[in-house]
């Protein structure tokens, strides 16, 4: 194929008339809901009700669609081209385009999954990247509602740095991080921000932290009355525009000097709980008797600011998971600890999370800031599944997919099965199928606009295929794929997939598009992840995102969703 023919092929394929590229099923539906090739407002209203399952659609809404999609030549009605334009339009998204918070936000904080960051100050890997307030701002602007800060004495031991201790990461001053949190905490929603602190400070420096927190956040800070512990966490609604501090009750400052270098006595790749690249290693040896012994010397003004106390009591997992009716607390487990505990203590973990907060964090060997399967934590009721937000990959796509729910406010109500005291959910149990999601992948478009002509293949159009599946509890989790379509910028797969779901309340739909490459790794063409319980039925335009999670300018799929 000559370059001239190749370029003409691009042009011709891109500007095909809608009547020729529209999927056959779409053409048939248009014929069924139109008369003599014309779809009136009343025809469209019937389509919205019957096919799109928009039971509350009004004639005014149908009229607005017609007004937005009709041409100058055909006002107040839709021809096939205009109908196709509506289907691929921005307002025909798979979840409500302008979704607002719609879940009940008046329950205790423990009843919600919360968008949670891990080592929120790191710009890159866990071992040698810079620490900065910039990734904190970026996380908050993406909807993250739990920010983690590791506190260490500065080099002069008269101030506080935020740094991944005992690594080569460069520090950032605590005050910069606090000011960034104050400025951007509520950029996405007014629901509360929790700041989790990993504290390696002397009582004198803890007093300085208390002063900084009080002066920076002022009335934004929420804390229980002095000397009291919360018996139940307040609701996200009650805590709007508030910032909560969560940390362990202060411990003794065991060493006089902590240099921010790699501890040569530890192997950074041994995967143990005390791994130096694991910022939460001090969570592992909390004991009630030790806390009682040392907090007497801790700065009282610092202790009084702790809204959610953290720590592990001694005595093993059974003691860790005991529920105290007079006190709520936060427990932290690594992803490996959770996986081990879930085999024996699954229902106890779920019961614990009905009142208390469980935070899961990445294992220490994830030096490159990779992430893990968040569904393990969510299916056990863990509210804070902490992720390295500066990473990439499937796990982070799933995390972002979960928090597209509930208007993207950073809080998603846990399903009732995780909150039932009388019949505690067993994540390991075999359950009957509750519903089946049918997904029809019709076609895709937009790569021609968003990518250079030779991005996928040097001498021919791309060979696209789509992967579609479910991220959920183990029995629901699956990925399937379409056929590969050769040499086509506007692939039309027209394939149907069915996904039986036992726990649809924890299921997320994953879609990826790749360009098949015979000799190398397949090229990435876009992805999305969507909460199944918020999918709008009918034929929808599904925008795809790049590997960093940024929505592509033009790339989208035409997909039909049905619950059968």
DSSP state letter for 388: -
Secondary structure (3-state) at 194: strand
**Residue 285 scores a pLDDT above 60:** no
Residues 533 and 376: their CA atoms lie apart, in Å, by: 18
Is the pLDDT at 261 greater than 50, yes or no? no
Q: What is the pLDDT of residue 18?
A: 58
Return the pLDDT at 149.
98
Whole-number pLDDT of residue 513: 98
**Structural element, H or E, at residue 187:** none
State in Å, rounded, how far the first CA of the chain is from the last one. Answer: 46
* DSSP tag of 447: H
Residue 272 pLDDT? 34
- Tokens read off for 397: 């796509």
Question: CA 300, CA 329: separation in Å to the nearest integer?
Answer: 19
> How distant, in Å, are the alpha carbons of 77, 197, 251, 296, 312 from that of 290?
75, 19, 8, 11, 11
CA angle 377, 378, 382 (to 5 degrees): 65
Query: Residue 12 pLDDT more than 60?
Result: no
Tokens at 210, concatenated: 């208390």
Percentage helix, strand, coil for the chain under 3-state DSSP, each rounded to 5: 30, 25, 45
Q: How many CA atoms lie within 13 A of 264 on its CB side?
A: 0
Question: Do residues 491 and 464 touch, judged by C-beta distance below 8 A?
Answer: yes
Known catalytic membership, residue 118:
yes
Query: Is the separation of the CB atoms in 144 and 396 below 8 Å?
Result: no
- Answer yes or no: is pLDDT of 344 > 50: yes
**Cβ distance 161 to 149 under 8 Å?**
no
Residues paired with residue 358 on neighbouring β-strands, in sequence order: 331
- Across the strands, what pairs with 357? 330
Average pLDDT, the chain: 89
pLDDT of residue 162: 98
Summarize the confidence of residues 517-535 as an average pLDDT: 95
- Average pLDDT for residues 331-352, to the nearest whole number? 96
pLDDT at 313: 81
Q: Calculate what percentage of the chain has a pLDDT beyond 70.
A: 87
CB 48 within 8 A of CB 539: no
Give the CA dihedral 289, 294, 298, 304, nearest 10 degrees: 10
Cβ atoms of residues 395 and 387 within 8 Å: yes
Residue 466 CA to residue 491 CA, distance in Å, equals 10
Please give the structure tokens belonging to residue 138.
Answer: 């970026």
> If we measure between CA atoms, which residue out of 473, 367, 385 comes closest to residue 148?
385
pLDDT at 446 over 90: yes
Given a cut of 50, is residue 42 above it in pLDDT? yes
Q: What is the mean pLDDT of residues 129-151?
A: 98
pLDDT score of 320 more than 70: yes
Counted residue by residue, the chain has a size of 564
Q: Please state the separation of Cα 248 from the chain's center in Å.
A: 26
pLDDT at 504 over 70: yes
What are 48-63's pLDDT values in tens digits?
999 999 999 999 999 9
Provide the token pair at 294: 């040392």
Cα(513)–Cα(467) distance, integer angstroms: 6
Query: Which segments of 428-521 does DSSP mark as H helices, in order?
Result: 447-450
Q: What's the sign of the alpha-carbon dihedral 106, 110, 112, 114?
A: positive
* 164 given a catalytic annotation: yes
Task: State the pLDDT at residue 1.
Answer: 40
Q: Tell me the pLDDT tens digit for each residue of 84-129.
A: 999 999 999 999 866 789 999 999 999 999 999 999 999 999 999 9
3-state secondary structure 307-360: EEEECCCCCCHHHHCCCCCCCCCEEEEEHHHHHHHHHHHHHHHHHHHCCCEEEE
Q: How confident is the model over 342-353, as a mean pLDDT?
A: 96
Question: Of 352, 312, 306, whose CA–CA distance to 331 is shortest?
Answer: 312
Confidence of residue 17 (pLDDT cuts 50, 70, 90): low
* Angstrom distances, CA of residue 73 to CA of 22, 31, 69, 76, 82: 21, 20, 12, 10, 11
Residue 545: pLDDT band (50, 70, 90) is: very high
pTM over 0.85: yes
Helices 203-217 and 174-184 pack at an angle, to 10 degrees, of 30
Give the mean model confidence (pLDDT) for residues 462-484. Answer: 97
- Give residue 295's pLDDT: 46
Q: What is the mean pLDDT of residues 423-448?
A: 95
CA–CA dist 331, 358 (Å, integer): 5
User: One of 118, 184, 200, 260 is an active-site residue; which one?
Assistant: 118
Q: Which of 43, 79, 164, 184 is catalytic?
A: 164
Q: Is pLDDT of 252 > 60?
A: no
What is the predicted pLDDT for the residue at 70? 81
Does residue 348 have a pLDDT over 80?
A: yes
Mean pLDDT (whole number) for 458-478: 96
- For the chain, domains (ranges, CATH) are 20-92 (1.10.238.10), 109-250+299-414 (3.20.20.190), 429-563 (2.60.40.150)
Kindly state the average pLDDT of the residues 144-159. 96
Q: Measure the CA–CA gap between 362 and 360, rounded to whole angstroms.
A: 7
Please give, one letter per residue, the 3-state secondary structure of 55-103: CCCCHHHHHHHHHHHCCCCCCCCECHHHHHHHHCCCCCCCCCCCCCCCC
Could you give the CA distance from residue 402 to residue 507 in angstroms, rounded to a whole number?
A: 9
Query: Is the pLDDT score of 7 beyond 80?
Result: no
Helices (H), 185-298: 203-217, 288-294
- pLDDT score of 73: 60
Region 119-146: mean pLDDT is 97
The pLDDT of residue 519: 84
Query: What mean pLDDT is predicted for residues 252-275?
Result: 38
Alpha carbons 169 and 33: distance in angstroms, whole number: 62
In the chain, what percentage of residues exceed pLDDT 90?
A: 80
* pLDDT tens digits, one per residue of 288-318: 444 444 444 667 889 999 999 998 888 899 9
- Tell me which of 12-26, 30-44, 503-517 is least confident: 12-26
Question: Which tokens go with 182?
Answer: 């104050």
Around Cβ 510, how many Cβ atoms within 10 Å?
Answer: 22
By the 8 A CB rule, do 555 and 446 touch?
Answer: yes
List the beta bridge partners of residue 432: none
């Amino acid at each position: 194929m000559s370059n001239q023919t190749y370029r003409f092929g691009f042009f011709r394929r891109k500007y095909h008339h809608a009547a020729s590229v529209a999927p056959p099923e779409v053409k048939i539906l248009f014929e069924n809901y139109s008369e003599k090739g014309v779809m009136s407002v009343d025809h469209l209203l019937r389509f919205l009700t019957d096919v799109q399952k928009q039971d509350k659609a009004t004639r005014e809404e149908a009229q607005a669609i017609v007004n937005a999609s009709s041409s100058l030549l055909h006002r107040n009605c839709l021809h096939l081209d205009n109908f196709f334009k509506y289907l691929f339009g921005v307002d025909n998204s798979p979840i409500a385009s302008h979704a607002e918070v719609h879940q009940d936000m008046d329950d205790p904080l423990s009843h919600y999954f919360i968008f949670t960051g891990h080592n929120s100050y790191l710009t890159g890997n866990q071992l040698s990247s810079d620490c900065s307030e910039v990734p904190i701002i970026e996380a908050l602007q993406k909807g993250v509602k739990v920010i983690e800060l590791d506190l260490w004495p500065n080099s002069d031991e008269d101030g506080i740095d935020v740094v991944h201790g005992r690594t080569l990461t460069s520090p950032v001053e605590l005050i910069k991080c606090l000011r960034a949190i104050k400025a951007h905490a509520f950029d996405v929603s007014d629901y509360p921000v929790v700041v989790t602190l990993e504290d390696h400070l002397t009582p004198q420096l803890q007093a300085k932290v208390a002063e900084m927190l009080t002066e920076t956040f002022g009335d934004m800070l929420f804390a229980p009355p002095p000397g009291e512990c919360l018996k139940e966490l307040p609701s996200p609604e009650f805590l709007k525009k508030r910032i909560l501090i969560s940390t362990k009750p202060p411990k003794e400052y065991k060493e006089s000097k902590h240099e921010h270098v790699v501890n040569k006595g530890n192997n950074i790749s041994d995967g143990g709980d005390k791994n130096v690249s694991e910022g939460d290693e001090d969570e592992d040896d909390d004991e009630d008797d030790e806390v009682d012994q040392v907090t007497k010397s801790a700065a009282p003004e610092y202790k009084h600011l702790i809204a959610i106390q953290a720590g592990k009591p001694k005595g093993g997992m059974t003691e860790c998971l005991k529920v105290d009716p007079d006190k709520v607390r936060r427990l932290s487990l690594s992803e490996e600890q959770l996986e081990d505990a879930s085999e024996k203590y699954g229902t106890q973990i779920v019961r614990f999370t009905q009142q208390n907060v469980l935070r899961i964090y990445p294992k220490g060997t994830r030096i490159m800031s990779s992430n893990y399967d968040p569904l393990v934590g969510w299916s056990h009721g863990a509210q804070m599944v902490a992720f390295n937000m500066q990473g990439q990959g499937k796990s982070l796509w799933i995390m972002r997919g979960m928090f597209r729910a509930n208007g993207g406010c950073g809080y998603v109500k846990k399903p009732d099965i995780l909150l039932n005291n009388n019949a505690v959910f067993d994540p390991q149990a075999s359950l009957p199928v509750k519903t089946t999601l049918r997904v029809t992948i019709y076609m895709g478009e937009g790569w021609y606009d968003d990518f250079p002509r030779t991005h996928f293949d040097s001498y021919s159009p791309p060979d696209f295929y789509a992967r579609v599946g479910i991220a959920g509890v183990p029995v629901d989790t699956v990925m399937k794929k379409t056929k590969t379509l050769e040499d086509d910028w506007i692939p039309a797969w027209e394939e149907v997939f069915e996904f039986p779901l036992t726990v649809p309340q924890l299921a997320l739909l994953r879609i990826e598009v790749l360009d098949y490459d015979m000799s190398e790794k397949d090229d990435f063409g876009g992805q999305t992840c969507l909460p199944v319980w918020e999918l709008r039925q009918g034929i929808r335009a599904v925008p795809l995102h790049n590997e960093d999670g940024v929505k592509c300018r033009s790339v989208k799929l035409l997909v039909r969703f049905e619950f059968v």
